[in-house]
Chain A
């Protein structure tokens, strides 16, 4: 009897299994316009509204849905206007040195059919600089005094002064928004409005669905005026951390990942037969940023970090080269300042803080930080040299660095507690100054000007200048750099600015990795722009003879 039962159970199970596995999803798409690309994203976008968010996960999705007026080509030359490709604007000219006139392409359409007009451009500029929207990009638009719509297809940008990167400032950050839809939504509610979860854009891809915690799906717009995208479906899969994202890509559950990281991960990816590796100039740098104000009361200076010598001592206690080698091998570089090798101002001859634990200890002693109770942690007037380091849960690299730094600081008598929180929480806390020190990763613009200004000047208070660093000399150098007419002149000013940052020890510049992306071999025409790996996905193709099952699916 038992034997009979067993036989029945096994047969039933086998039958069910055969039935279920025989169900391949039906798909009949063929040709060059099929293709499903699954992108493994670490973390999940917070909101899909361009002016609100500066998270690179959100941008990766947003730049498929929304267009800029014009965009950089792969040379990433931000001086002048010769290295830009037309997008919404078909052409442009300079009415005078401080006035830029764009001619909108009449074929540009919003995905609900309405034409894109100059009114949309003016509306978007207005929203980006509106304090109620509090866009992190507002600072990069500060040299523009006004944007007006001369007629429905002509947008006029007026600048306060003439300088080399004018064009880049006009088009670099501004994604054009649909005025006819967003005009009715009060600006204070933009961060939580429904549009942020069901965006309507004018770009190569349409929003299809967002399953929270799982994925976002986009579909190619076959009527896109600049050419129908070859890849029909774009699926961004969220993963809780970098390792899972890598795991999924190697296992074939995802088709691409934009950043591999440490050498052993690169080796694993290289060993995966279906992946091709694409190295590109690093556009990310990670720093430890000190908070200059007291997290408990942002009107007062930080009890530890307001003292320059404490910051300098901590900077001197970190053997950055060694940490880098331990984590990255030779796949990253120690930045001489808060910059990436992609920037023309990358200059390893800059005077940087040297690794010197003896000097660090001496500095601390001199400032009165002594270990009075023998617990290994210095103190002064009853305050311990102990602080919290904020780190996101999604970045294995930063978590690793946090533990390595913890040990480095311990050796000079400083105690660090590691706080691991979700990226959105980190973002909120950092912007509102509720932290002691944070490990910040910046995916930079091709040009240093807007990024550095946003992060290290008074402009960025409450936005990207998390630590509320301010130095008048620094800002003077920066202004000089921006208004310089020639490269050598600008270079000198930049050197001066970076020198100030370094001697102030405003942060500890930890690593700038050389990025390597892994993309499935079947994808052809892969071009990765270093500052925005997602920017040219609309040009990638999966040729008809290389389609696999998931490409053929009709949804």
Chain B
């Protein structure tokens, strides 16, 4: 297990390195010099000097590459020209918010998806199943930003059930007790997480339904049925346990989808996470920040899938084989 873990981690690192190299090449293929401030933008001359030195901007390409790697290793992603802080600081502030949003979205995704999948599996091929199947398929096919706009208008502005964007209430947040803070955060989190999770839930429901139906046909379930246990119990206790395993994998693999969706959802809801940061960075032509987001995003995806593999291996002894 230890050797496998070591190999898997090394592979993950290699992938991240490859992504970084690719990003580096992309930056240098692009016209202009992205790491320098756009002309006319006021810049602290000391900071500019440091940037030039750290990234070796006047040196030949291989030197720049080495410098770039070294800088990334020390956590220096360059300055952010649109915000008055380094790219790393901007990301450090934004990543927790995206993780929070993604986490909440995953919770909604799985709970809704699981519930719906069970419900559909219990009524396989009857009217309820077919209708639910079509509806979930439709929701899974909707553009997330459109859904976000509609939800924001209906539940935010019209019904006032949820606030119109933002992370927390600037007026009251500081003065709330910790549980109030939690409540305020949750209230602001609800709508964006629902938007992001809803589309995923539709997909999860379909997957779960299929997995449950497959498991229901298996021998051990028939044995349980023969023993005379109630259908419900059979379904839940036995079938679920087996069908749950893929969830772990799904969670790890959901990262790319969640990050992509986050860009649009965060922009609509003004949720200050990585996605909104990247989009704002584009509008501000802040190249160091854009590339930093891409690199960190990839690192998160790789870490997510590594975690998923590890958890899966821990949970299911049958799969403790070296990865191909």
Please give, as numbers and ranges, the residues of chain A lying within 8 Å of B93 by CB-CB distance.
212
Query: A399 to nearest B CB, angstroms?
Result: 13
Contact present for B176 and A248 (CB under 8 Å):
no
Please give, as numbers and ranges, the residues of chain B lying within 8 Å of A421 by CB-CB distance.
283-285
Q: Decide if A1 is an interface residue (CB 8 Å cutoff).
A: yes
Q: Given that A244-B165, A428-B41 are known contacts, is A38 also in contact with B171, CB under 8 Å in the complex?
A: yes
Query: A10 to nearest B CB, angstroms?
Result: 13
CB-CB contacts below 8 Å: A183-236 with B: 188-189, 191-193, 196-197, 211-215, 217, 233, 235
Contact present for A23 and B177 (CB under 8 Å):
yes
**Chain B interface bracket (under 10, 10 to 19, 20 to 34, 35 or more):** 35 or more
Task: A52 to B41: give the CA distance in the assembly, Å.
Answer: 12
Q: Given that A189-B45, A247-B164 are known contacts, is A235 also in contact with B175, CB under 8 Å in the complex?
A: no
**Which of A1, A20, A36, A252 neighbours the largest number of chain B CB atoms within 10 Å of its CB?**
A20
Task: A239 to B276: give the CA distance in the assembly, Å.
Answer: 13
Q: Given that A244-B164, A421-B283, A424-B284 are known contacts, is A550 also in contact with B179, CB under 8 Å in the complex?
A: no
Task: A323 to B39: give the CA distance in the assembly, Å.
Answer: 35
Contact present for A2 and B236 (CB under 8 Å):
yes
Contact present for A251 and B164 (CB under 8 Å):
yes
By beta carbon, the residue of chain B nearest A217 is: B170
By beta carbon, the residue of chain A nearest B272 is: A213
Please give, as numbers and ranges, the residues of chain A lying within 8 Å of B83 by CB-CB distance.
212
Which of A2, A52, A244, A429 is B40 in contact with, Cβ under 8 Å? A429
Which of B44, B85, B169 is A189 in contact with, Cβ under 8 Å? B44
Query: B271 to nearest A CB, angstroms?
Result: 10
Which of A20, A23, A237, A247 is B156 in contact with, Cβ under 8 Å? A247
What are the interface flags for B138-175 relative to A under an 8 Å C-beta threshold, 1 for contact and 0 otherwise? Answer: 00000000000000000011001001111101111011
Q: Decide if A368 is an interface residue (CB 8 Å cutoff).
A: no
Contact present for A422 and B167 (CB under 8 Å):
no
Contact present for B283 and A253 (CB under 8 Å):
no
Contact present for A252 and B160 (CB under 8 Å):
yes
By beta carbon, the residue of chain A nearest B237 is: A1
Task: A242 to B84: give the CA distance in the assembly, Å.
Answer: 24
Task: A196 to B42: give the CA distance in the assembly, Å.
Answer: 13
Q: Decide if B70 is an interface residue (CB 8 Å cutoff).
A: no
Q: Decide if B225 is an interface residue (CB 8 Å cutoff).
A: no
Q: Decide if A21 is an interface residue (CB 8 Å cutoff).
A: yes
Q: Given that A252-B160, A422-B280 are known contacts, is A197 also in contact with B84, CB under 8 Å in the complex?
A: yes
Contact present for B175 and A424 (CB under 8 Å):
no
Q: Decide if A553 is an interface residue (CB 8 Å cutoff).
A: yes
CB-CB contacts below 8 Å: B8-44 with A: 38-44
Q: Decide if B244 is an interface residue (CB 8 Å cutoff).
A: no
Query: A36 to nearest B CB, angstroms?
Result: 6
Q: Given that A2-B236, A20-B186, A244-B165 are known contacts, is A25 also in contact with B180, CB under 8 Å in the complex?
A: yes
Task: A36 to B186: give the CA distance in the assembly, Å.
Answer: 23
Task: A213 to B45: give the CA distance in the assembly, Å.
Answer: 25
Contact present for B171 and A424 (CB under 8 Å):
no
Please give, as numbers and ranges, the residues of chain A lying within 8 Å of B172 by CB-CB distance.
25, 549-550, 553
Q: Decide if B47 is an interface residue (CB 8 Å cutoff).
A: yes
By beta carbon, the residue of chain B nearest A210 is: B84
Contact present for B180 and A432 (CB under 8 Å):
no
Please give, as numbers and ranges, the residues of chain A lying within 8 Å of B40 by CB-CB distance.
428-429, 431-432, 434
Q: Decide if B183 is an interface residue (CB 8 Å cutoff).
A: yes
CB-CB contacts below 8 Å: A107-147 with B: none
By beta carbon, the residue of chain A nearest B186 is: A20
Q: Decide if A14 is an interface residue (CB 8 Å cutoff).
A: no
Contact present for B183 and A192 (CB under 8 Å):
no
By beta carbon, the residue of chain B nearest A191 is: B42
Q: Decide if A240 is an interface residue (CB 8 Å cutoff).
A: yes
Task: A4 to B236: give the CA distance in the assembly, Å.
Answer: 13
Contact present for B233 and A19 (CB under 8 Å):
no
Q: Decide if A554 is an interface residue (CB 8 Å cutoff).
A: yes
Q: Decide if B311 is an interface residue (CB 8 Å cutoff).
A: no
Q: Decide if B130 is an interface residue (CB 8 Å cutoff).
A: no
Number of interface residues of A (CB under 8 A): 55
By beta carbon, the residue of chain A nearest B162 is: A251
Please give, as numbers and ranges, the residues of chain B lying within 8 Å of A549 by CB-CB distance.
172
Please give, as numbers and ranges, the residues of chain B lying within 8 Å of A192 by CB-CB distance.
42-44, 47, 84
Task: A424 to B283: give the CA distance in the assembly, Å.
Answer: 10
Q: Decide if B182 is an interface residue (CB 8 Å cutoff).
A: yes
What are the interface flags for A366-387 relative to B under an 8 Å C-beta threshold, 1 for contact and 0 otherwise? Answer: 0000000000000000000000
Task: A430 to B40: give the CA distance in the assembly, Å.
Answer: 9
By beta carbon, the residue of chain A nearest B166 is: A214
CB-CB contacts below 8 Å: B227-277 with A: 232-233, 236, 267, 270, 272, 276
Task: A47 to B44: give the CA distance in the assembly, Å.
Answer: 13
By beta carbon, the residue of chain A nearest B187 is: A20
Q: Decide if A485 is an interface residue (CB 8 Å cutoff).
A: no
Contact present for A38 and B183 (CB under 8 Å):
no
Please give, as numbers and ranges, the residues of chain A lying within 8 Å of B195 by CB-CB distance.
none
Q: Decide if A301 is an interface residue (CB 8 Å cutoff).
A: no
Contact present for A211 and B170 (CB under 8 Å):
yes
Q: Decide if A27 is an interface residue (CB 8 Å cutoff).
A: yes
By beta carbon, the residue of chain A nearest B93 is: A212
Q: Decide if B204 is an interface residue (CB 8 Å cutoff).
A: no
Q: Decide if B305 is an interface residue (CB 8 Å cutoff).
A: no
Please give, as numbers and ranges, the residues of chain B lying within 8 Å of A36 by CB-CB distance.
171
Q: Given that A251-B160, A428-B41, A434-B39 are known contacts, is A235 also in contact with B284, CB under 8 Å in the complex?
A: no
Contact present for A20 and B280 (CB under 8 Å):
no
Contact present for A240 and B270 (CB under 8 Å):
yes
By beta carbon, the residue of chain B nearest A255 is: B171
Contact present for B171 and A550 (CB under 8 Å):
yes
Q: Given that A421-B283, A550-B172 are known contacts, is A428 also in contact with B84, CB under 8 Å in the complex?
A: no
Query: B176 to nearest A CB, angstroms?
Result: 5
Q: Given that A211-B170, A235-B171, A422-B280 are known contacts, is A428 also in contact with B164, CB under 8 Å in the complex?
A: no
Query: A295 to nearest B CB, angstroms?
Result: 11
Q: Decide if A393 is an interface residue (CB 8 Å cutoff).
A: yes
Query: A245 to nearest B CB, angstroms?
Result: 10
Please give, as numbers and ranges, the residues of chain B lying within 8 Å of A1 by CB-CB distance.
232-233, 236
**Which of B40, B42, B171 neighbours the largest number of chain A CB atoms within 10 Å of its CB?**
B171
Contact present for B232 and A2 (CB under 8 Å):
yes
Task: A244 to B254: give the CA distance in the assembly, Å.
Answer: 30
Task: A421 to B167: give the CA distance in the assembly, Å.
Answer: 24
Interface residues of B (CB under 8 A from A): 38-47, 82-85, 93, 156-157, 160, 163-167, 169-172, 174-177, 179-180, 182-183, 186, 232-233, 236, 267, 270, 272, 276, 280, 283-285
Question: What are 14 contact pairs spanning A and B, CB under 8 A?
Answer: A20-B183, A20-B186, A23-B177, A24-B180, A25-B172, A47-B84, A52-B42, A214-B166, A244-B164, A251-B164, A425-B38, A429-B38, A429-B40, A555-B175
New contact pairs (19) apart from A192-B47, A197-B84, A214-B272, CB-CB < 8 Å = A1-B232, A2-B232, A21-B183, A23-B179, A26-B175, A27-B175, A191-B42, A196-B84, A213-B276, A247-B157, A247-B164, A251-B163, A421-B285, A428-B40, A432-B40, A434-B40, A554-B175, A555-B174, A555-B175
